[in-house]
Amino acid sequence: MIIRKRLAAGVCGLLATVAVGLLPTPAAAGEPDAKPAPKVELVLDVSGSMRARDLDGQSRMAAAKTAFNEVLDAVPGDVELGIRTLGANYPGEDRRVGCKDTKLLYPVGPLDRNDAKTAVATLAPTGWTPIGPSLLAAADDLKGGDSARIVLITDGEDTCQPLDPCEVARDIAAKGIHLTVDTLGLLPDAKTRKQLSCIAEATGGTYTSVHHTDQLRKRVHQLVDRAADPVVTPVATEGAAQCAKAPELKPGLYSDRERFAEHRWYRVAVRPGQELRASVSVAADRAVDNDYGVLLRAVTVHGREIVRGSEAGDGRTDVLSTGLRYPKPDEDAPDGSEVPPAETVCLQVSNSFSAPPSVKREPGLPVELAVDLVDAERAAADPAAFGLGRGWWLLITLALAGLVGGLVWGWISRWRISVWRTN
């Protein structure tokens, strides 16, 4: 029994040591934060159409309130959140007044969940749908930060033209203030989908059609979490029909569009001693036939294939991804020069998507291409450096470790049973 108690105490001590090592260390006194708090503003449509009772048997307004309450309970502690309404206060017919009806319901800052919930509970469907003016006001609410996010929830298109909300979004993006607008349409019609998609696309955001309360809650929660852990915004590029005319890409994340069954080319300069790592994702943002594939090839300028990555799908996923790696061996510079020349590697992105004749071909399918160049020393030290050829060693090592671990655990278990019986 003493041996067993010592063994348990040792295990507990080890776990405590590991736990202490994993805890974040407090910042030194007076040391500034590494980055400013992420900011999010939820912009909610409270216009008269939100009275419609067609969202899971309840009104659209009630569904939005339910979703907001659950989202507010789960907002990360480091996120500064605000809530703005549109169409919540003026019930009359005067267009000029109705199109100014936007109000900051809860100011952007550290969240008091009870105050925010109380403010949301007072809302009732009332007036117009001034999306454009609300976006301008929300952008002003969020100014002064490195990056911020607006989440717009509405059930209809803007009723206050000619201030086109899509043009407003383009103007916001042109200011370079790193403000992303995500849009959610509650049971949207075709015009609403088009307008909300345009707003999101102009600022690098996302558009989502919402048909259920649970879907609304989950999506808003995802977007708030995304603000707390922002992702890199892809840089728009346009691949060419051949490598000689292709754009040269630096390490980074890029977006493009590719037609059904199209080939697009890009170029990357790889120096000796570097490893090229590239991956591509193609999204099926419309109805497509089952059975499709994506191919990513690295080719020399003379057309010789270096390496390829490919993936196939059968209709069960909306995004298909693949990748490749090309380590260029180190070499001496010719003619005694200090730096050896870089090699131009041509990246070919191809897809085998198809669709029924009724499906629109334009614009092409969304493409996201990631490119990275890693020095040989970092590539060798990176645990992810096991490529397809070297992955077998990792697999064998893990299998042997599992076998040895199982044998040792079995021996310890038998030994403990024998000690227990003797005691």
The residue that leads in pLDDT, 264 or 159, is: 264
> Which pLDDT value is given to residue 20?
36
Residue 384 has pLDDT above 60, yes or no: no
> Across the chain, what does the average pLDDT equal?
82
Residue 281 pairs in a beta bridge with 321, 368
DSSP letter assigned to residue 244: G
Burial (0-12, 13-18, 19+ Cβ within 10 Å), 46: buried
pLDDT at residue 268 greater than cutoff 80: yes
Q: Whose CA is closest to 219, among 195, 184, 180?
A: 184
Pairwise CA distance, residues 135 & 220, whole Å? 17
Question: What is the structure's pLDDT at 263?
Answer: 94
Distances (CA, A) of 40 to 36, 79, 83, 228: 13, 7, 9, 9
The answer to which of 93-107, 266-280, 345-359, 378-392 has the lowest mean pLDDT is: 378-392
Calculate mean pLDDT across residues 371-390. Answer: 57
Residue type, 193: R
Cα–Cα dist 304/138, whole Å: 53
* Assigned token pair, 68: 């907001």
What the chain holds in terms of domains, given with CATH numbers, is: 39-228 (3.40.50.410), 235-332+339-385 (2.60.120.380)
Rounded to 10 deg, the angle between the 190-203 and 131-141 helix axes is 30
Inter-CA distances, 423 with 6, 10, 24, 57, 411, Å: 15, 21, 43, 65, 19
- Checking if the pLDDT of 201 tops 50, the result is yes
- Confidence check: pLDDT of 347 > 60: yes
Q: Which pLDDT value is given to residue 4?
A: 40
Query: Which DSSP symbol is given to 133?
Result: H
Confidence of residue 403 (pLDDT cuts 50, 70, 90): confident
Put simply, whether the predicted model's pTM sits higher than 0.75 gets the answer no
| Sheet strands side by side (includes 39-45) | 102-109, 80-86, 39-45, 148-154, 179-186, 207-210
pLDDT higher than 70, residue 26: no
pLDDT band at 138 (very low <50, low <70, confident <90, very high): very high
pLDDT tens by residue, 41-66: 999 999 999 999 999 999 999 999 99
Nearest one of 287, 295, 423 to 365, comparing CA atoms: 287
